[in-house]
Amino acid sequence: MIEVSRTELEGVLLIKPYIFEDHRGQFVETYNEESYKKNGIDVKFVQDDISISSKDVLRGIHGDSQTHKLLSCLHGKLYFVVVNCDTESTDFGKWQSFILSDTSRMQVLVPPKYGNAYLVLSDEATFHYKQSTYYDRKKQFTYKWNDSRFNIWWPIENPILSQRDAQGK
C-alpha cells in the first residue's frame, strides 16, 4: 500500500509507503509492481543500486534522457534535490528539495531529463535507487552541484565532492 503525491515538478512523484511498526521494529514494502501500477506508475525497473556515503558528501547532479529512477534513503538522512535538466523545457532549471530518511521511508520517482543530487545530513547514509535502464555513464549528463543557472539552496558551503561533481562534467 502506497500514497502517491504530485510535486512542484512535472512528472516527479513523492511516494509514501505503508510502514508497519510494533514492539519488534518496522516492516516496509519498498516496491510492489502491482501496487505501483494501480497508482499510475507503470515503469519497468531493470537495475537496483546502493550508494553509501559519509556526512557532508554531496553526490550529483546526474541524469539522462531515458531513465526513470525510484529513489529512497534506506539508512540515515539526506537532503535530496531534483532538477529539471531538459534544456528544451520552459521549466529548465526549476528544482525542488526533499528530506529522505530511514524514518519517513519516502521515495521520489524521477523521470527522464531530470537530474538528482543529494547531501548526506547524518553521520552515514545508504541511498537506494531503482532504474528503468541499465547504467551507461556515456549517456548521462552532469551539472556542477552549485551551477548558477539552478541557484539551488544547499545546507552546506563546502561539501565533500567527487572530481566529476566538482567540475560538472
CA-nearest of 94, 69, 90, 93 to 9 is 94
C-alpha cell at 11: 512528472
Task: Please report, as a single letter, which amino acid is at residue 111.
Answer: P
Q: For residue 1, list its beta bridge partners.
A: none
> Which of these is catalytic: 62, 114, 118, 128?
62
For this structure, is 68 an active site residue?
A: no
Cα separation, 144 vs 166, whole angstroms: 6
> Which of these is catalytic: 36, 114, 129, 143?
129
Cα separation, 84 vs 96, whole angstroms: 9
CB 100 within 8 A of CB 25: no
Q: How remote is the C-alpha of 2 from its chain's centroid?
A: 17
For this structure, is 135 an active site residue?
A: no
Q: How many CB atoms lie within 10 A of CB 44?
A: 8
So which residues are the catalytic ones?
62, 129
